[in-house]
Amino acid sequence: MVIALGVDLRGNKHILGFVQTATENEAVCSTFLRELMDRGLKIDQGLLCVIDGAKGLRKAVDKVFGRKAVVQRCTWHKRENVVRYLAVGLQATYRRKPQAAYEKPTYAQAKACLMKVRAELVPINASAVASLDEGLQDTLTLHRLGLFGELGGSFKTTNCLENLNSLVGQRTDKVDCWKNAQQKHRWLATTLLDIEQRLRKVRGHRQLVRLRAALPQRGLEAVV
Confidence of residue 216 (pLDDT cuts 50, 70, 90): low
User: Closest by alpha carbon to 49, among 64, 28, 31, 27?
Assistant: 64
What is the SS3 assignment for 218? helix
What CA–CA distance (Å, rounded) separates 146 from 213? 12
Q: What is the pLDDT of residue 223?
A: 38
- At 176, is the pLDDT very low, low, confident or very high (cuts 50, 70, 90)? confident
Residue range 29-58, pLDDT digits in tens: 999 999 999 999 999 989 999 999 889 999
The stretch 180-191 carries a mean pLDDT of: 95
Q: Is 46 left (phi over 0), alpha (psi -120 to 50) or beta?
A: left
Yes or no: say if 101 and 80 are a contact pair by the CB < 8 Å rule. Answer: no
Query: Who's near 93: CB < 8 A, 6+ residues apart?
Result: none
What is the rounded distance in angstroms from the CA atom of residue 93 to the CA atom of residue 79? 11
Question: Tens digit of pLDDT for each residue in 88-146?
Answer: 999 999 999 999 999 999 999 999 999 999 999 999 999 999 999 999 999 999 999 99
| Cα–Cα distance, 82 to 10 (Å, whole number) | 35
% of the chain exceeding 90 in pLDDT: 89
Q: What is the mean pLDDT of the chain?
A: 93
Cβ atoms of residues 157 and 10 within 8 Å: no
Whole-angstrom distance, CA of residue 202 vs CA of residue 147: 14
In 3D, which of 109, 114, 140 has the Cα closest to residue 128? 114
* pLDDT number for residue 217: 53
